[in-house]
Amino acid sequence: MSKFSISEFNEFLRARNASKPCEACGTDNWELFEHPTGELGIPIHNWAGEWNSFPSHVPVIGMVCANCGNIRLHAKRFVEKFFEDQQGRGDGNGR
């Protein structure tokens, strides 16, 4: 699973009690941050401050506040695991 709709991502956030207003401006109007390659990630450095060759990043899903532009990142594997668990329980959401 690589892409999520805003409604699917909101389902994950509500289930994890993480659906909160923007900590910068207080509004609750989020958009998913899309990257042209379809993958966002946080670069990983080793203890010596050098770039690691593998893995080179932690995949994330980005949200951007539609009011002020504040960015929030969530580790993609937690969202994927949530929907895998839901599917395993046969919740009928089609994921």
pLDDT above 70 (res 92): no
pTM of the model: 0.74
Residue-wise pLDDT tens digits, 38-89: 678 887 776 666 665 566 788 899 999 999 999 999 999 999 999 999 888 7
State the pLDDT at residue 47. Answer: 66
Mean pLDDT of 21-27: 96
- 14, 30 in Cβ contact below 8 A? no
Phi-psi region of 93 (alpha: psi -120 to 50; beta: other; left: phi over 0): alpha
CA 32 to chain CA centroid, Å, is 8
- Give yes or no for residue 95 having a pLDDT over 50: no
What's the pLDDT at 53? Answer: 59
Cis peptide, bond prior to residue 55, ω within 30 of zero: yes
User: Distances in Å between the alpha carbon of 14 and those of 19, 36, 57, 79, 85?
Assistant: 5, 27, 26, 12, 15
Q: Inform me whether the pLDDT recorded for 1 exceeds 50.
A: no
